[in-house]
């Protein structure tokens, strides 16, 4: 089976291990992910706060390219990219004049026919049914599934999982042998794009998340967003300074955990790239 794939900027840079793990997992389920040719940045967390038309034009061009290349569905692992592409598709479908303005801007035809899947939806739709039979080494750990701000919001548009208490990742982790904890920080903000400009705020927000997970006995924090991973993993020195203690619980992408369970090589999953050593191996 072949599916379109939009990596976005993060998966080509600071979160390349996420890209590696998604691409390493797919072949176990006879799936080939094909990158959208000539893709561009989606605008992520900044464009919509600077220029409304630009924030729509960037995702529209990506979707138009996918249509041009004959893709019916595209997998978008980054929660921010998924959010921007989905919101843009919704806004253009609701406003014909806006759609014409944006398509004139990108000078490309766009119909809005491509189905956009985040990584959890991708796993639910194409991997979940075959997952149990593929497990060779259960991921037998106590985990905190952290969804972050963007994966399930805005619910009116995304219509994915529950807003305040999502369970989709928890269910997948149970399938591979994990025990998800009950906690109150599933969808709290980690600081998102403030990682460089306001590291102090990221340390506080992410510190509260990491601390609660650790206090409740989590042996891993499971994420599906490159910004969440960067803040919880890369900013651990600042977090530990804020907390005045060393918290060593690692942060693992959902695709890495599943990859380990089905027998993928840890190095192919990019686990060696993490700042906080992944001891749950």
Give me the CATH number covering residue 183.
3.40.50.11810
Q: Which pLDDT belongs to residue 154?
A: 86
Which of 47-61, 211-225, 234-248 shows the lowest per-residue confidence on average (mean pLDDT)?
47-61
Verify that 98 and 142 share a domain, yes or no.
no
- The reported pLDDT for the residue numbered 44 is 82
In which domain, by residue range, is 153 found? 134-273
Q: Which of 94, 119, 144 is the last residue of a domain?
A: 119
**Least confident window among 8-12, 17-21, 137-141:** 8-12
In this predicted structure, the answer to whether residue 98 has a pLDDT above a threshold of 80 is yes
* Residue 18 belongs to some domain of the structure: yes
For residue 68, being part of any structural domain is answered with yes
**Residue 28, domain member (yes or no):** yes
Same domain, 84 and 14: yes
Residue 142 maps to a domain: yes
- Does residue 128 sit within a domain? no
Among residues 103, 63, 75, 54, which one has the least CA distance to residue 4? 75
The model's pTM is: 0.95
pLDDT at site 164: 87
* Structural domain includes residue 278: no
The dihedral through the CA atoms of 269, 274, 277, 280 has a sign that is: negative
Q: Which of 268, 28, 280, 279 is nearest to 179 (CA)?
A: 280
Name residue 220's beta-bridge partners.
143
Specify whether 142 is located in the same domain as 190: yes
Residue 57 domain-assigned (yes or no): yes
DSSP H or E stretch at residue 145: strand 142-145
- Bridge partners, 179 (sequence order): 142
Instruction: Give the chain's domain count.
Output: 2
**Radius of gyration of the chain measured on its C-alpha atoms:** 18
Residue 161 inside a domain? The answer is: yes
- Residues 26, 29, 31, 32: is their CA dihedral positive or negative? positive
**What CATH number does residue 29 fall under?**
1.20.1050.140
* Judgement on whether residues 90 and 208 belong to the same structural domain of the protein: no
Supply the pLDDT for residue 7.
96
């Amino acid at each position: 089976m072949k599916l379109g794939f939009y990596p976005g900027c993060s998966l080509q840079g600071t979160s390349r291990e996420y890209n590696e793990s998604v691409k390493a997992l797919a072949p176990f389920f006879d799936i080939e992910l094909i990158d959208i040719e000539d893709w561009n940045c989606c605008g992520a967390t900044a464009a919509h706060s600077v220029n409304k038309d630009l924030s729509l034009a960037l995702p529209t061009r990506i979707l138009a390219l996918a249509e041009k290349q004959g893709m019916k569905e595209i997998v978008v692992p980054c929660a921010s990219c998924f959010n921007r592409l989905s919101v843009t598709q919704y806004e253009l479908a609701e406003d014909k004049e806006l759609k014409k303005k944006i398509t004139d801007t990108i000078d490309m035809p766009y119909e809005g026919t491509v189905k956009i899947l985040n990584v959890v939806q991708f796993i639910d739709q194409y991997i979940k049914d075959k997952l149990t039979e593929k497990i060779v080494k259960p991921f037998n750990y106590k985990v905190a599934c952290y969804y972050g701000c963007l994966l399930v919001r805005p619910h009116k548009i995304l219509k994915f999982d529950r807003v305040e208490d999502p369970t989709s990742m928890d269910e997948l982790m149970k399938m591979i042998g994990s025990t998800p904890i009950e906690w109150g920080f599933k969808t709290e903000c980690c600081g998102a794009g403030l990682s460089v400009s306001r590291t102090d705020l990221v340390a506080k927000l992410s510190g509260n998340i990491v601390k609660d997970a650790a206090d409740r006995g989590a042996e891993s924090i499971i994420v599906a967003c490159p910004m969440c991973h960067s803040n919880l993993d890369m900013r651990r020195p600042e977090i530990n300074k804020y907390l005045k203690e060393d918290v060593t619980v690692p942060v693992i992408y959902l695709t890495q955990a599943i990859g380990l369970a089905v027998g993928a090589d840890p190095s192919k999953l990019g686990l060696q790239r993490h700042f906080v050593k992944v001891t749950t191996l």
